[in-house]
């Protein structure tokens, strides 16, 4: 029997008793074992998965409701606490730290909803990077072309969903770490309104910017998972949403493939007005500075005690951030308030702003650069060109995969704070009419 890994399909069949949660968990573990070359998984949690799946099946047998995500297999970025497991945050220096004593709140909510955790997933060390090039666990490879990056820092989470190893996954997003890999791997992803989803038990990086969210195969699955994580049923706006395309900064340096995909998208949308924001380059710089300062300060004591245990690429950026002055940090926060006022004014005229998530297709691993203003720049630090200026405002963003004839590409749907459900609804509409289409392998 071929099992569809769409979350809604699995949950419906498990609740009906036509599919066993144990059978689904076994299939997920089999798929993980069959794809070691992706480097998406850091640990398979077979014993836990089988125990949780058996508990779901037992509830069904007793006539009890096993939950809206009954038997759905998922994975989490390796910075979520999993009871009995070490939370490494992608760092070899934490590999032998004491294990977590309880699950992160997000995992606890998913477990109560019947979902089955099967794996922890690869990431950039301490979530500081955009490519998931991990010194301890290896480079996560893009399921669509293993010679290319999956994006990061939640690359393992995106790749696992795109490759059909799990039905959905959890990641974190500070400067684009959900939106970038979702785009490069061709799946749906959400960075929610800042701190609207539970961060208890999630290893921190930049408290001003950190958020958690999910990767899914469909927009409908995103709604299901997001509702469970919030503990509420989402409500959407009754009136049609007014959309505008971000130009200027967000229209520069695009690859030919992204430009063509955007043209097709806007043609399908009909007339979409263009909005050009002022000072986006400063917003990106401010986000970069906040990240460096807070990340550096968080790790300062450990860097003093044992700098050699860090990946050199991560260590050098953290040390540079720790050296920044508090005055520079305060200036960055002040500019955030200035930039936010401009965005608020735009949202008085439009409900949703649309922008590319990345410049174009996933970079090759053997050529880890992007062409920015005619100059080759490192992909690890610059894939967030279009995501960082949005991140530091705390706005909700849903990434939708565009229909393409080649490698995956994605768009950001950006809304005012608290309008997450409207963005998911728009993603659902776009998918139904063919303007958003995931690129999946199984």
Instruction: Give the span between the Cα atoms of 310 and 131, in whole angstroms.
Output: 17
Q: So what's the pLDDT on residue 174?
A: 98
Q: So what's the pLDDT on residue 2?
A: 80
Q: How far is CA 216 from CA 124, 175, 189, 275, 401, in A?
A: 20, 20, 6, 29, 11
Cα 230–Cα 127–Cα 176 angle in degrees, nearest 5: 65
Q: So what's the pLDDT on residue 236?
A: 76
User: Where residue 1 falls among pLDDT bands split at 50, 70, 90?
Assistant: low
Q: How far is CA 200 from CA 181, 196, 290, in A?
A: 23, 12, 22
For the cut 90, the answer to whether the pLDDT of residue 235 exceeds it is no
In 84-202, where do the E strands start and end? 116-121, 133-134, 138-139, 141-142, 145-149, 168-173, 188-191
Instruction: Please give the full DSSP string across 231-256, using - where no structure is assigned.
Output: TS-----SSPPPEEEE-GGGGSS--H
**412 pairs with which residues across the strands?**
355, 399
Instruction: Give the span between the Cα atoms of 408 and 258, in whole angstroms.
Output: 9
Average pLDDT of the residues in 85-103: 98
Contacts of 222 (CB under 8 A, 6+ apart): 168, 188, 190, 214, 216, 398, 424, 427
Cα within 13 Å of Cα(351), Cβ side: 16
Would you call 177 a catalytic residue per the annotation? yes
Q: For residue range 201-231, what is the model confidence (pLDDT) as tens digits?
A: 999 999 999 999 999 999 999 999 999 999 9
Choosing from 167, 169, 177, 391, which is the catalytic residue? 177
Q: So what's the pLDDT on residue 374?
A: 94
Instruction: Give the span between the Cα atoms of 227 and 107, in whole angstroms.
Output: 13
Cα within 13 Å of Cα(130), Cβ side: 27
In 3D space, the residue among 210, 354, 334 whose CA is nearest the CA of residue 277 turns out to be 354
**117 pairs with which residues across the strands?**
74
Instruction: Tell me how crowded residue 34 is: count the other CB atoms within 10 A of its CB.
Output: 11
User: Where residue 160 falls among pLDDT bands split at 50, 70, 90?
Assistant: very high
Provide the greatest CA pair distance for the chain. Answer: 64
What average pLDDT is seen over the chain?
Answer: 96
Q: In the numeric block, which tokens belong to residue 386?
A: 């279009």
Instruction: Give the span between the Cα atoms of 146 and 150, in whole angstroms.
Output: 9
Taking the CA atoms of residue 174, residue 179, residue 184 and residue 188 in that order, the dihedral angle to the nearest 10 degrees is: 140
Q: So what's the pLDDT on residue 440?
A: 79
User: Where residue 128 falls among pLDDT bands split at 50, 70, 90?
Assistant: very high
For 26, the enclosing helix (H) or strand (E) is: helix 21-33
Instruction: Give the span between the Cα atoms of 169 and 167, in whole angstroms.
Output: 7
Domains of the chain, with CATH numbers?
A: 7-230 (3.90.1300.10), 243-432 (3.90.1300.10)
Average pLDDT of the residues in 41-52: 98
Q: For residue range 174-207, what is the model confidence (pLDDT) as tens digits?
A: 999 999 999 999 999 999 999 999 999 999 999 9
Q: So what's the pLDDT on residue 441?
A: 63
Contacts of 122 (CB under 8 A, 6+ apart): 39, 40, 41, 42, 78, 90, 132, 134, 137, 138, 140, 155, 156
Is residue 402 within 8 Å of 356, Cβ to Cβ? no
User: Where residue 430 falls among pLDDT bands split at 50, 70, 90?
Assistant: very high
Average pLDDT of the residues in 369-398: 95
Instruction: Give the span between the Cα atoms of 196 and 190, in whole angstroms.
Output: 12
The DSSP call for residue 260 is: H
For the cut 70, the answer to whether the pLDDT of residue 442 exceeds it is no
Instruction: Give the span between the Cα atoms of 148 and 366, in whole angstroms.
Output: 8
Choosing from 153, 172, 183, 196, which is the catalytic residue? 153
Q: For residue range 314-358, what is the model confidence (pLDDT) as tens digits?
A: 999 999 999 999 999 999 999 999 999 999 999 999 999 999 999
For the cut 90, the answer to whether the pLDDT of residue 438 exceeds it is no
Q: For residue range 81-90, what is the model confidence (pLDDT) as tens digits?
A: 999 999 999 9
Average pLDDT of the residues in 68-90: 98
Instruction: Tell me how crowded residue 36 is: count the other CB atoms within 10 A of its CB.
Output: 10
Would you call 167 a catalytic residue per the annotation? no
Q: So what's the pLDDT on residue 234?
A: 74
In 3D space, the residue among 229, 224, 220 whose CA is nearest the CA of residue 110 turns out to be 229
The 3-state secondary structure of 358-383 reads CCCCCCECCCCEEEECCEEEEHHHHC
State the burial class of residue 349 (Cβ atoms within 10 Å of its Cβ: 0-12, 13-18, 19+).
exposed
Would you call 432 a catalytic residue per the annotation? no
Which pTM does this prediction carry?
Answer: 0.97
Average pLDDT of the residues in 287-293: 97
Is residue 149 within 8 Å of 139, Cβ to Cβ? yes
């Amino acid at each position: 029997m071929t099992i569809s890994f769409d979350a809604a399909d699995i949950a419906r069949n498990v609740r009906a008793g036509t599919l066993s949660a144990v059978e689904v968990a076994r299939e997920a573990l089999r798929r993980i074992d069959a794809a070691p070359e992706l480097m998406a998984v850091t640990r398979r949690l077979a014993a836990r998965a089988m125990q949780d799946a058996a508990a779901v099946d037992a509830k069904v047998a007793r006539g009890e409701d096993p939950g809206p995500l009954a038997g759905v297999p998922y994975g989490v970025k390796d910075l979520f606490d999993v009871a009995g497991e070490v939370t490494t945050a992608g760092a070899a220096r934490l590999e032998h730290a004491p294990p977590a004593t309880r699950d992160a709140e997000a995992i606890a909510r998913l477990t109560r909803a019947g979902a089955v955790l099967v794996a922890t997933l690869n990431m950039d060390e301490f979530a500081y990077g955009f490519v998931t090039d991990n010194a301890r666990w290896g480079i996560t490879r893009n399921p669509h072309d293993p010679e290319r990056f999956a994006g990061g820092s939640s690359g393992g989470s995106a790749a696992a969903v795109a490759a059909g190893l799990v039905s959905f996954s959890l990641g974190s997003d500070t400067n684009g770490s959900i939106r970038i890999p979702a785009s490069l791997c061709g799946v749906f992803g959400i960075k929610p309104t800042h701190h609207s989803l539970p961060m208890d038990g999630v290893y921190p990086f930049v408290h001003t910017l950190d958020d958690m969210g999910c990767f899914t195969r469909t927009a409908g699955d995103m709604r299901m998972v997001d509702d469970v994580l919030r503990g509420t049923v989402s409500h959407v706006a009754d009136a049609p949403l007014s959309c505008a395309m971000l130009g200027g900064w967000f229209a520069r340096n695009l690859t030919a493939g992204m430009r063509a995909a955007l043209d097709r998208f806007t043609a399908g949308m009909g007339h979409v007005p263009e909005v050009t924001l002022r000072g986006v380059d400063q917003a990106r710089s401010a986000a970069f500075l906040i990240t460096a300062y807070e990340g550096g300060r968080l790790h300062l004591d450990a860097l003093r005690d044992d700098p050699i245990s860090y990946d050199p690429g991560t260590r050098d950026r953290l040390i540079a951030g720790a050296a920044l002055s508090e005055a520079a940090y305060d200036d960055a926060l002040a500019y955030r308030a200035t930039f936010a006022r401009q965005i608020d004014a735009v949202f008085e005229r439009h409900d949703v702003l649309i922008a590319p998530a990345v410049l174009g297709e996933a970079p090759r691993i053997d050529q880890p650069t992007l062409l920015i203003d005619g100059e080759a720049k490192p992909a690890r630090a610059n894939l967030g060109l279009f995501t960082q200026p949005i991140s530091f405002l705390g706005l909700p963003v849903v990434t939708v995969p565009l229909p393409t004839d080649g490698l995956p590409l994605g768009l950001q749907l950006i809304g005012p704070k608290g309008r997450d459900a409207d963005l998911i609804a728009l993603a659902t509409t776009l998918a139904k009419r063919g303007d958003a289409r995931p690129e999946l392998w199984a």
